[in-house]
Amino acid sequence: MSDARAPLLKLKGLTKAYPGVIANSDVSFEIGAGEVHALLGENGAGKSTLVKMIYGLVRPDSGSMAFRGSRYEPATPHAARNAGVAMVFQHFSLFNALDVAENIALGMENPPKQRALAARITEVSEAYGLPLDPSRLVGDLSAGERQRVEIIRCLLQDPKLLIMDEPTSVLTPQEVEILFKTLRQLSAEGTAILYISHKLEEIRSLCDAATILRLGKVVGECDPKATTARDMAEMMVGQTLHVPSRETTKPGDVALKVNDLTLQSASPFGTSLKNVSFEVRKGEVFGIGGVAGNGQDELLAALSGEVETGAGAVQLKGQSVGHLGPNERRAEGLLAAPEERLGHAAAPDMNLTENAMLTGHVRENLTNRGFLNWRAAKGFAEKVIADFDVRTPGPGNAARSLSGGNLQKFVIGREILQRPDVLVVNQPTWGVDASAAADIRQALLDLAANGAAVICISQDLDELMEISDNFAALNEGRLSKPRPAAGLTVDEIGLMMGGAHDMEAAHVA
Amino acid sequence: MDLSAINWAVLVASLMVAATPILLAALGELVVEKAGVLNLGVEGMMILGAICGFAVAVETGSPLVGFFGAAAGGALLALVFAVLTQVLLSNQVATGLALTLFGLGISALLGQGYVGIKPPKTEKLDFGPLSDLPVVGTILFNHDYMIYFSLALVAAVWWFLRYSRGGLILRAVGENHEAAHALGYKVVVIRFAAIAFGGACAGLGGAYLSLVRVPQWTEGMTAGAGWIALAIVVFASWRAFGVLLGAYLFGGVTVLQLNLQAAGVAVPVEYLSMSPYLITILVLVIMSADRSRAALGAPASLGRSFHASN
Amino acid sequence: MIHLVKRPQPSRAWSYATPVLAVLMTMVAGGAMFAALGKDPVEVIRTIFWDPLFGEFAFYFRGQLLVKAAPLILIAVGLSLGFKAGIWNIGAEGQYILGAICGAAVGLAFYPMEARWLIFPLMIIAGALGGWAWAMIPAILKTRFNTNEILVSLLLVYVAEQLLAKMALGALRNPDGAGFPGSRNLSQYASASNPELIAGSGMHWGVVAALIAVIFGYVLFARHMWGFQIRLTGESPRAARFGGVKPTRLVIFCLGVSGALAGLAGLFEVAGPAGQISIDFNVGYGFTAIIVAFLGRLHPVGILLAGLLMALTYIGGEAAASNLGLPSAAIQAFQGMLLFFLLAVDVLTNYSLRFGKGEVA
């Protein structure tokens, strides 16, 4: 069915500029019918803008597209869907308070009546081995199930081209295998897939061709099955990356102990923590893996003190601190850096001096009987900027004006410079460019080498394997038994993360 | 005091009249909030509707034309809110307050020539002998067309939100405007429409006050009805029939306290007059104390600004 | 087509310029409204904004300026605390009434005893406590039951108005008043009056309190942890919680302070310019103060200036009403318009306008 000579989608010279950034510059490549084509690039390389143009969300400044041999200029996503293009978003385009069938209907051009739609959903979900109950609320689904909703929404439209934006970042390794099976089936049926990722091994096992973007430009094309991951990585990053190094240290005394922590989530669609127990020693990096939405945010809040627990549930250096708020815990040496940089770790519209004050005032003595010492706060902000190579004109700039990587360096640096005894970080390198990510990982390792305990919550398994001494995974609010990271296989990790969620559960008509 | 002097069938009938302004306004606000917009300017749109409806009805001699004028007036003011919050991204709370303050001022200005005038009478629908049935006739078949319209509107809004494609899209926009945008729905356009509908409904509610319930024009005559309508949307957990229940409960309290005043109960008039407000607060407290339930009905994007940045 | 592009950070220049721009735009639109009413717009604008300051009778009006501005500033400074944190007390009118009732009740309880050193300070405390207690109702309902403070504080205004009527007709009625509603005149009771401190200046204790509130607000926001926490909460509630802010305490603090300041404003008014508790004692300062708070960009010094400007519209409006026959409602509409324009141009602080082809969708 696939005809390699006439490409399904042809991009020619696509260019899109935003004030101050050129997101895409003269991007051209082709995708054939039934081809699984990888679009590879770092954060900020312009992958998202490019697929938004193909999906009709953004209009190119110049260049042209052809789809199935004719001119293709989708003005809206509706037009794209009508032409046969479907997309699975990285940050799902789903609605928590609506049920699965309603969510799917919203992504279709001419949805059938609700009852007929529910039957279709069940039918298609079984045909592709993706069980799904049309009447459940999406907010109650796991991340893997939510992705199934998105995929089935696309499949019901019989797409000729399916765009997938970082689909595996929310899946366990077992779920990734199931997804790949589905994608291979689709490809065999003639559906082309544009697969966006920065995970090289996945691309090598799945894709027929790859286009590599860097800073908005196409910097190379390759056959991923015949190219090494290392070569692709160098094309993607444009330089050789240094792998974080660490000196092995002997773990010291127990720095933080979490003892049978159970916590009801405050938000209606959140995950409650159930009987979480672990301990971290001085000099140790403890990695906590797991798919997004399995209790990571709740665990960070319970450790940082944003949510108070029973006093004994969190113990710092043998002392109960579960009943203390964030500032009291800071005073005792327990610091944290949440996942969401803008709006949680930092206030977007406040400048860096004010954001330094945000967490620094306790340990850096930036206040005097409630009165603020702005000069000292500015000095602290400047020190963070200098020590952690934060690229910004100065501490007077608003947090939101910094790039993701620079702000993350500021946030992590702000906590590390306060000499924590225990530092908890959540997704420390999420959405950060490769060189900043490497710097951040190195900083965490250095901190541990100097005797602090580091708890790193992350969804990036490669990252966790690189820096952790011990590893455990969160799954539906429960923490698996911690195990030494060295020697863990992908399969073992996947099972700790919960294996393939709910694959048997949901065969409901 | 003589409670037997109160005719309960008449009380129920007058309860419906007392509840209708708030029912209409709350129904409009329900749709607005379901689209993810918090318009606190209901009071302002209601009072503008009250004077627009009154003035148009007096000038044309037709209450029906008056109601259209009221809907137009309310919708027009609502569109100011829409431009400010949806295009110029102003804070919805502050803009809603501005709407109320401006509405009170401009309505007083427009209403200068209309103080002390009687509006043309809004006729009752003729149900023939049905109207003469005891109790049932008084309660069900003895009303003007706006009462039946408001009840029909409850059903229509319920059906629209529950079963129609448009309603599904509206709820999606209110639940997660970024996702709706990513799927290609025009968030701002949909919200404009919802806001205008809410304004028209509030205008109708206001006109019902000035043309039927009172019926005359006085400055500030809505006396907090718009705020109570907002409270009733919360009470209803954002469901259309909940709004009906809330509005009629409130109407019941209002009518009952007026009857008690008339019956000469030994409670000072002022305390009876404040009772509807106090009961509204009490109901709000009861509803909001149950967080899980309140959270489910409330649209997740309620009150947040949307700007398609890329 | 024009579209908005988010600035990398808020523009300082525009944050100063927007209130001025809004005032100018309101003058133009208001002028059009006055013209539609058949008045000469230039003359009306001059009567409102120029004559009270520099006209023939300016010596009288200038004093009035402080009298009107004091309660507006006092209330608006309090409101700005909450507004900055996203805590919306819009029931200042009710807290103002309760402050007046409580303060007046204390003063009248001592009548006709003469002991100013005791009675007047007690009244001030009672006024502040009255407003504070009234604001604590929405505060406690919000913190205990998560009840929306906007609706509760506003609905309590209507309750307060009924209470005021009850007091004017009942408990606080002047026993020597031949049955007329209203209390004894406090301004004629030396121990309880809030007199003009410098004759003809309009300066009374309420003005002093307003200035102290401005200074207090300035220090709070510029230098104190609490002010920082308030700003932080308004910017980003999650970051605030991470920074150790206790939301419950903040709600109690913001509503409490704004209630107490509104109560003080009511007390100074009832003991001074108004003189007595009467059915129509409240004239909407609690609502106009919302406009003042925004016009002053929630900054204490800005509020000081905005309060004076808004007082000017009141005084000028009255002059325009008596000299030119301008309906008093026109001034209310004018004030509402000002808030509209302010909110409209505020977008320029965070966004810049681009002209050219817009985005899809």
In a domain, C213, yes or no: yes
Percent of chain C exceeding pLDDT 70 equals 98
Domain hosting C247: range is 61-307+315-326
- With 90 as the cut, is the pLDDT of residue C142 above it? yes
Inside any domain, residue A506: no
In this predicted structure, what is the pLDDT of residue A328?
95
Q: Which of A61, A85, A90, A93 to mutate to test the interface with B (most CBs of B within 10 A)?
A: A93
The minimal CB distance from A348 to the residues C236, C242, C354 is found for C236
Interface subset of B 92-121, CB within 8 angstroms of C:
93-95, 97-98, 101-106, 108-109, 112
Of the listed ranges A92-96, B157-161, C142-146, C161-165, the one predicted with least confidence: A92-96
Which amino acid, C62?
Answer: R
pLDDT band with cut points at 50, 70 and 90 for residue B60: very high
Helices within chain B (DSSP H only) = 8-34, 42-60, 63-82, 92-110, 136-140, 145-163, 165-175, 177-182, 187-208, 225-235, 240-263, 269-289, 291-297
Q: Quick check: is B186 in a domain? A: yes
pLDDT of C188 above 90: no
A348 touches chain C (CB under 8 A): yes
Local confidence band at A351 (pLDDT 50, 70, 90 cut-offs): very high
Q: Of the candidates A205, A237, A269, which is a domain's last residue?
A: A237
B182 close contact with A: CB closer than 8 A: yes
Euclidean distance between CA atoms A105 and A116, whole angstroms: 11
Counting the structural domains of chain B, the total is 1
Residue B112 belongs to a domain: yes
Alpha helices in A171-269 (DSSP H): 173-188, 200-206, 229-237
Q: How far is B187 from chain C (nearest CA, A)?
A: 9
CA distance A182 to A223: 21
Q: What is the pLDDT of residues A140-173, one digit of tens each?
A: 888 788 888 998 999 898 899 999 988 887 788 8
Which CATH number fits the domain that encloses residue C266? 1.10.3470
Does C38 fall in a domain? no
Given CA atoms A384, A390, A396, A398 in this order, what sign does their dihedral have? Answer: negative
What pLDDT, in 10s, does the model give residues A288-315? 998 888 899 999 999 999 999 988 999 9
pLDDT confidence of B291, banded at 50, 70, 90?
Answer: low
User: Which of C74, C63, C77 is closest to C96 using CA atoms?
Assistant: C74
Q: Which two tokens stand for residue B255?
A: 């009518």
Residue B227 near residue B43, CB atoms below 8 Å: yes
Number of residues in chain B? 310
State whether C329 and B288 contact (CB < 8 Å). no
CA–CA separation, C176 and C188 (whole Å)? 14
Nearest-angstrom CA–CA distance, C140 and C129? 15
Spatial contact of C317 and C339, defined as CB atoms under 8 Å apart: no
pLDDT tens string C269-310: 999 888 889 988 988 899 999 999 999 999 999 999 999 999
Any domain includes B304: no
Is residue C271, in this structure, part of any structural domain at all? Answer: yes
pLDDT of residue C193: 86
Q: Are residues A276 and A223 both part of a single domain?
A: no
- What is the predicted pLDDT for the residue at B84? 94
Ranges A25-29, A68-72, A495-499, C136-140: which has the least confidence: A495-499
What's the 3-state SS for A343-379? CCCECCCCEHHHHHHHHHCCCCCCEECCEECHHHHHH
The whole-number average pLDDT for the span A322-335 is 95
CB contact under 8 A, C223 and A398: no
Q: pLDDT at residue B1 above 50?
A: no
Distance of CA C174 to the CA centre of its chain: 29
Residues A433, A437, A439, A440: what is their CA dihedral angle, to the nearest 10 degrees? 130
pLDDT of the residue at A508: 34
Instruction: Report how many domains make up chain A.
Output: 2
What's the average model confidence in pLDDT over B8-37? Answer: 93
pLDDT top residue among B239 and B139: B239
Q: Residue B292's pLDDT is what?
A: 60
Q: Please state the domain count of chain C.
A: 1
Q: Is residue C32 part of a domain?
A: no
Report the pLDDT value the prediction gives residue C360, as an integer from 0 to 100.
39
Other beta carbons within 10 angstroms of residue A272's beta carbon come to: 14
Given this model, what pLDDT does residue B138 score?
Answer: 79
Does residue B303 lie in a domain region? no
pLDDT at res. B132:
79
| pLDDT of residue A495 exceeding 90 | no
Decide if C329 touches A, using CB distance below 8 A.
no
Residue B59 forms part of a structural domain = yes
Average pLDDT score over residue span C51-72: 87
pLDDT for residue B11: 85
Mutation test of the interface with chain A: which of B164, B175, B183, choosing the one with the most A Cβ atoms within 10 A?
B183
- What is the C-alpha to C-alpha distance for residues A179 and A182, in angstroms, rounded to an integer? 5
Structural domain includes residue A247: no
**pLDDT > 70: what percent of chain A?**
95
Number of B/C CB contacts below 8 angstroms equals 142
**A376 is a domain residue:** no
Asked whether residue A101 is domain-assigned, the answer is yes
pLDDT in tens, A188-206: 999 999 999 878 888 888 9
Name the B residues in 14-73 with CB < 8 Å from any C CB. Answer: 40
Neighbouring chains of C at 3+ CB pairs under 8 Å are A, B
pLDDT of residue C356: 59
Q: Between A58, A338, A361, which is nearest C242 by CB?
A: A338
The residue to which tokens 């259309």 are assigned? B240
Does B81 fall in a domain?
A: yes
Whole domain around residue A121: which residue ranges?
A: 9-237
Summarize pLDDT for B216-244 with one digit per residue, the tens.
999 889 989 999 999 999 889 899 999 99
**Would an 8 Å CB–CB cutoff place B219 in contact with chain A?**
no
pLDDT score recorded for residue A509: 31
Max mean pLDDT range (A401-410, A476-485, B195-204, C173-182): B195-204
Domain membership flag for residue A365: no
> In this predicted structure, what is the pLDDT of residue A243?
67
H or E segment and range at residue A71? strand A70-71
- Residue C347 in domain: no
Q: What is the reported pTM?
A: 0.90
**For position A309, which CATH number holds?**
3.40.50.300
Residues 6+ apart with CB under 8 A from C13: none
Report the pLDDT value the prediction gives residue A10, as an integer from 0 to 100: 94
Tell me: pLDDT of A504 over 70.
no
Say if residue C201's pLDDT is above 90.
Answer: no
Mean pLDDT score, C19-40: 92
Which chain B residue's Cα is nearest to A270? Answer: B292
Identify whether residues A181 and A328 lie together within a single domain. no
Of residues B269 and C160, the one with the higher pLDDT is: C160
Domain-embedded: residue C182: yes
> Which helix (H) or strand (E) element contains residue C15?
helix C12-36
- DSSP letter for A65, please: E
Q: Is A199 on the interface with B (CB under 8 A)?
A: no
A452 in a domain, yes or no? yes
Does residue B199 belong to any structural domain of this protein?
yes
CA distance A106 to B181: 11
Q: What is the DSSP letter of B114?
A: G
Instruction: Kindly state whether C244 is in contact with chain A, defined as any CB-CB distance less than 8 angstroms.
Output: yes
Angle, CA of A339, A343 and A349, to the nearest 5°:
140
Same domain, residue pair A51 and A18? yes
* A171 and A130 assigned to the same domain: yes
Out of A59, A345, A351, whose CB is closest to C242? A345
Residues C63-105: tens digit of each pLDDT = 889 999 999 999 999 999 999 999 999 999 999 999 999 999 9
- Rounded to whole angstroms, the Cα distance separating B116 from B155 reads 36
Range of the structural domain that residue B52 is part of:
3-297
pLDDT of residue B296: 61
Beta strands in B54-209 (DSSP E): none
Dihedral angle of Cα C312, C314, C318, C321, to the nearest 10 degrees: 100
Question: Does the pLDDT of residue C200 top 90, yes or no?
Answer: no
